[in-house]
Amino acid sequence: MDFTLSAEQLMIKDSVTRFAAERTPGDPWATFAQLGWLAIGAPEDLGGFGGPLETMILMEAFGRGLVTAPYVAQVVLAGAVLRLSGRADLLETLVEGNARFAVAYEEPRARHDSARVATIAMRDGDGYVIGGHKVRVLGAGSARSLIVSARLDRPDGEIGLFVVPANAPGIAIVPIKSEDGHDVSNVRLDGIRIAAGDLIAERGLHILDHALDIATAALCAEAVGIMSVLHEVTLDYLKNRTQFGVAIGSFQALQHRMAEMFTELELARSMAFVAAMTLTDEDDAHRRARGISAAKVQIARSGRFVGQNAIQLHGAIGMTEEYKIGHYFKRMTTLERLLGDSDYHLARYIAADRVPERQPVPA
């Protein structure tokens, strides 16, 4: 397989790398729109381009630069939900930078399971009334609208997806402190009244799961960027830190440790490619679930190994706020749990692996 980047992909990589190196404090949303990054993965008729591989390139560079913008939450995840729901009108506003969406799906005690939904959408005349509680909503603090999963009040108990204004009466968005400084909130919905047209998908669970897989692949790519920096900085430290008159990188035991870190990094990079390539077949949900969950489990394990060893090899300086390696390790630790931890994805992989292969249709 040829992993050589095209001219367009190299342009994306270079522009993101420059942005990460030169960024200034403040909201970068307008810059994202100007550079066209909000259009990655969108249909061409909306001005979109690229797909999972372009997203992987961008997110790996974001990981290397430790960019804290809610790109995965408000562009990758929300954009995928809108695209899969067929709401080109709303997706167009996102691509143009005129709207910002956050996806509120996880609930207390749900353990990352998108199907465990207690939030209820009651039919009320021509519209709906929504009540419930969502937790760990990524990007809700700067979003103008929320995409909310709610169980429809009807016999089949289908899970619908609704677009709700973030400032609607009855919504309480409560920011929570995250370890890595990202935008995370809990959201309460108390009798939110919305129009019937705000229901963007009546059978929304498969759409939500597909979008979560796309976002999980993006997080895997970000993790690879973070691990790359952890490995590079640690290698440079071992070459320059001296003990007993020699660089500690000359000690064979530490050389073996660096070789193991490099092996884990390259294994994680390979699995990030697997995740991205899995998404190119959008019709095979079984294959997609296995590929994404396998990548998430392996990258979480590799990230823990690389991060912990980077901290240990640096010694006490690796734990200080002034030294950047600790901040990368914080983000890597957070990524291990985002959109499903290792236990969740391992169980999901096993469950998907037990699904029998599709039988050929008789002639």
User: Options 3.30.70.360, 3.90.870.40, 2.40.110.10, 3.50.50.100; which CATH number does 102-201 get?
Assistant: 2.40.110.10
Question: Which distant-in-sequence residues (6+ apart) come within 8 Å of 174 by Cβ?
Answer: 185, 186, 187, 188
Distance CA 278, CA 274 (A): 6
CATH superfamily for domain 7-99:
Acyl-CoA dehydrogenase/oxidase, N-terminal domain (1.10.540.10)
Low-confidence ranges of the chain (pLDDT < 50): 357-363
pLDDT value for 362:
45
Distance CA 43, CA 100 (A): 18
Q: Output the pTM of the full model.
A: 0.93
What residues form DSSP beta bridges with 362? none
pLDDT value for 2:
62
pLDDT value for 322:
87
| Helix, coil or strand: residue 66 | coil
For 243: left if phi > 0, alpha if psi spans -120 to 50, otherwise beta; the answer is: beta
- What percentage of the chain has pLDDT greater than the value 90? 80
CATH superfamily for domain 205-353:
Butyryl-CoA Dehydrogenase, subunit A, domain 3 (1.20.140.10)
Q: How far is CA 43 from CA 91, 94, 99, 123, 144, in A?
A: 9, 12, 17, 33, 22
Question: Which distant-in-sequence residues (6+ apart) come within 8 Å of 72 by Cβ?
Answer: 59, 138, 215, 218, 219, 222
C-alpha 79, offset from chain centre: 12
List the domain boundaries for the chain. 7-99, 102-201, 205-353
Between CA 297 and CA 301, with CA 299 as vertex, the angle to 5 degrees is: 70
Report residue 251 as tokens.
């000690």
Residue with tokens 């979008």: 211
